[in-house]
Each structure stands twice: as C-alpha cells, then as structure tokens.
A and B are shown apart, each in its own frame.
Chain A
Amino acid sequence: MAVIDLANPTRFLTLVNRVLPWLVAATILAFAFGLVRVVHAPDDYQQGATVKIMFLHVPAAWLGMMGWGLMTLAALGTLVWRHPLADVAGKAAAPIGAAFTFICLVTGSLWGRPTWGTYWVWDARLTSVLVLFLLYLGVLALYWTAEDPGRGSRAAAILTLVGAINIPIIKFSVEWWNTLHQPASILRMGGSAIDPSILIPLLVMTGAFTLLFFTLHLAAMRNEILRRRVRTMRLAEAARA
C-alpha cells in the first residue's frame, strides 16, 4: 500500500483497525517493563525516592513538545499541501498533547514541593511549559468552538504555526526573565539523570508513553473521521428531505 493511499480516509481506517490492537499490546508491554524498572530504580543521593516522579515528568514534557511538533507538521499538511487527513491528525493530537503538558505541570509541582518547598516555582522550564499549556488551550478552543470543522481546523492550523515560531522565542524570553529575577538555582530538575540505573527506566518510560501517545492519536483520528462521516450523512439526509 503506497503512502498516497493514506490520504484516503476509508483506507486509512482499515489500516488503523489492523494496527491498533498491536499498538495497544506493545504499549501495555512497554509500561509493564517500564514500571518494573521504575520500582527497582535506586534513590537519588540528593532527592531520595522523589526522583521516581521524574520518570513521569520528563516523558510528559517530551510528549507535550512532540505533540506540538506533530500538530505543526499537520498544520503544514493542511495549509500548504492540502493533505485530506492532515487536519484530522492535528485535531486529534491537540487534546492528547495538552493532557501530557498538564501531567508535566502537575508532576512538576508535586516534585517541587518536597525538593524546593513550594508547589509552584517560577522556574524557567516550568513557566515555559505553563505557557505551552496556554497555547494548547487556545488551539483547542479554535478546534472545538468552530461550527464548520474545516474552517476551525484551518484557523487552528494557523495558530499552531504561529505558536511553533513563537515557542522558541517564549522559551528564550522566559529563561532570560528567570535569570534576571532569581539567582541560578542549585537544585536542577535534571539532577543526576546520567547514571544508567536512572537513565534506563527513564528511557523505557519515555518509550512507553510515546507508544501510548501514538495509540491514542490513531484511535482519536479514527473517531474524528467517523464523526465527519456522521456529519456528512446528516447533511445529505437534510439536503434530500
């Protein structure tokens, strides 16, 4: 099956139906393996067992960024190459990326409380993630409040691209702002991640979460295609009445 066939929604659906069970199985296996490694991971000399929160926080941060990257590719597909399934891909990715960004913020906050003493710190990285979350909310607002799905998708695609250009600028500004207002902090969230006994669980969990993302994404794309099919059928029914 050529790549061009993926542009056909019906053929895409057949592909998803075939692939999805395998993806689900792979995801479950990856998490089983990852969680075992997490349980056996040693304590950090500085942070103790709370380093285990990092195995959630770092994958979530990665997926938040990857989600926006995926949406950016989808946006280019929608606006530049007019690929039929591009806007479906973007709309499906947005809530999942937003959810993982939210997980990143929550786990970051819970990690900060025992290590830094407060639930929220205006640390450069956490603040950048917060702004990313706000951008996600904006894109979700455009996708979900539009009466016409095509129009809403195009608007969301534009905002995604504007966001993609802006996110590096925002990150740079926030880091600049942070160094201006606070001295360099000794406790970095990266910590001692270099040691293999910590690195391996981190990589496995990252892989497991990434598989989860793509499983959810394909399933959500399938739902969106079905939803549009329902809408077309209802419009056709109304046209004939």
Chain B
Amino acid sequence: MTSDDLAYATIADITNHYRRRALSPVELTRALLDRIERLDPTLHAFVTVTAERALADAKRAEAALGHGQDASPLLGIPVAYKDIYATRGIRTTAGSALLADWVPEDDATCVTRLREAGSVMLGKLITHEFAFGIQFPGHRFQPAKNPWNLDHMPGGSSSGSAVALATGLVGGALGSDTGGSIRGPAAFCNIVGLKPTYGRVSRAGVITLSWTLDHTGPMARTVEDCALLLQALAGHDPADPVSSREPVADYAAPLRQGIRGLRVGVPRAYFLEGVDAEVEKAFEQALATLRELGAAVTDVEIPSIQTSWAFLAILMAEAFAYHEHDVRVHPELYGDVLRERVLAGGLILGSEYVQAQRLRSRLHAEMLEVLGRVDVLATPTTPKPAPTFAAVWDPSFGFPKSNMPPFNMTGVPALAVPCGVSSEGLPLSLQIAGRPFDEATVLRVGHAYERATEWHRRRPRI
C-alpha cells in the first residue's frame, strides 16, 4: 500500500486493515500527522492539530484492538471537527477573532459520541467565520484552499472538513449545515456530505448560527463512511431541545440492497434554473445512471419552491439575535462582510420573520406531500462549480441563490455525492434528499450511484 493509498483509505478499509493486523491505529495516526505537517501549510484545513491527543487516542484504540475489542466500526479511525464543535480543553475559535482563545470546558455531544466510539481526534478544522462570513485577505484565520485548484474556494462554511478529506488528511470529519455548509464544500471538493434530518444529530455544544436551520452531520470520502459516522452520531440527546426521539435506523446494512423500483423525483423548477451547462449535463447523466440501476425517475413539482429563499430572512434574523450583544459591543472583532451580514439581520422586521416562517410551513407541507409520491428527490447540489477567491472577494458577489437551503427550510435529509468534473477540472455533485428520518434510503441511493461510477475515486494533485 502506498502512502497515498493509506491516506485515502475509507473507514471501512481501515477497519479491515486493523482486523487483519495489516495496520495499527498508531501507525496510521503518525502517517496522517506527518501528512498534515507536510501539506497543511499550503491547504490551511486545520486551525489546531492535536497531535498528542491523537497519539493517546490511537494507543488506546490499539490496546482495545489487541484485546479483541473491535466492535465499533470507528475504533481507531482518525477524525477531525469543524472548529465550531466545542472540544474540552482544546480551543474552539469558530474562525473568529472573538473566540480566538476560547477553551471549552465540555465536549459537544457529537464529539463525545465519536470519542466513545473509539475514534482518534486529529484536530480542529477551519470554518468560515461563525459559519456565516468569508475570510477576506488579512483575516485572523486564513481560508482553506480548494485542492483541485488553489485559486478557487473550497466552499463553506465547513471548508476545512472538506479539504482535509479531499487531501487524505483525515478519515472522517464533522461539519454543520445551515444553508448548505456540509453539502457545498463536499460538492466543491469531490467528497460526500450528509445533512441529516433536523433533530436527528445533536447540535448541543455546537456554536449556533440559526437555531431553526442549523444541522450537524458527517462528511467522508464515501457514502458508506458517512453511514458509519451517522450510526455513531444519531440518537436522542436531552441537551439539545429539538433532538428527536425517533428510533435510529441501521444505516450501513441496507446500503447494498440496490435501488431497483425506487422512485426518484426531479423538481426541475428552481433547482435547474441558472445552472451551468456542464452541471446540467452531469446531472442528466447521473439520472440516466439511476435509471440504469432500476430506479423510476420522474419530474415532480413543489408549487411554492420559489419561496425557498425566505430562508435568508430566517437565517439573518436568527443570526442577529444570537450575535446582537457581541456585534454591538465588539464590532471590530467581526470580519468584513460577516459584520454587515449579521447587522443586516437586525433590520428585518418581526412581521417579516413570521411571514418567512409561514412560507416555510407551506413549503414543508408541500415537500412532505411530494415525498409521499416518490422515495427521494434528485437535484444538482450546486448550480456551478467552485468560484475563485477573486470572485467571492468582490463585494458584488453577494449571497448567491443555492440549491441546498430548501432542505434546511424543510428539515429533510440531503446528501451530496460526486457526479462529474467541469472542463476546468473542478468537481460536480449530485444532491439526493429524502423523507424525514429516512437517511437510510437517501444513503442507499447515494451508495448505489457511487458504486456505479468512479467520480468519488478521483484525487487532486497536491
């Protein structure tokens, strides 16, 4: 096995190597720490590398494996966390000068669950400032670079998580998704990202952007790896007031059932408007693949889908409510753009926020009605490939329309899977959304597509 093969091994592969004693957690952890030291000065995926903690975790996993305790599929798996997940004794910055030296006293519930599953913590991954801003030149924390083209952004806000996975620095990572922050970076970096159902994975200990839109979830190099991470993360958490008591399904076992007979709905209005020709072509080819796999693909309509962008009013109003004190008292500690985005939320009227939530109710009801007729929805994850840094640093770039917020508005699970490459060599992605708490079917469709294609196997030249 080459060092690259080792770095890009999937969670399932690593576990198999451990069980055959072909690899040890300490050996893999040392290899990844060396790789981080070599590559991260260029990529800027990490804010904090926790080498000592990683080696201690790896030794503990190695001892457990030596005693035959390999029940957890995450035992000895190297992971890292978007830097808005609180980590006990390890600084958690949220990519912000305001929290640059904050050291939490407790772990976020998700961090606790992955630790208890035996994972190895490699460190904390850069996020856009408070998961909402953009790192402009001169920002305290440098932005992560897209490994497919260093002049392009890797997406956000879980940018470090996607870059670390795409470059073989970690085996799995966690992100958060308020309007696409797991799926967007996954799409731009050619990895897999899952936004689970609202309430499926705990938000406790994760810094808030928007209470009613925030989701936490896994990012990985394959759909199966996402399923394995979700299995450890999912379940009721009394520390999160919106955590659901819905029973947790088995996410890995059904993956190999195939998708013959499944109904795939394609909501063309909104989701196919304004997409690049290359994106549309890759999407149609992905639909053809799903048909070849036995799925019935039909167009569907979500009547009020065009109101989805009321999402932005909800996000801005809730973000202002969260940040109001700090942004009024310490505006200088907020980066350019984030400061104005947050303050703009304070200009939204109470009645406008309520109207946005009413539109959301209607959209939600329509989404559930459509998902009663089909098993999943398929759309392009993003209308275009990753933009350049120069483009997003232009003040006129704004907050462009996106295909991901409709699923934050409705809380249903949505997965991003690699599905192509642009003429510039940038990744393209397929989005699959499903019924509330039916992550198993969403993952099943993603896995079937992934097995039928090679896109997820592409690696950037770094």
Q: Do A and B bind each other?
A: no
Which residues on A are within 8 Å of B, measured CB to CB? none
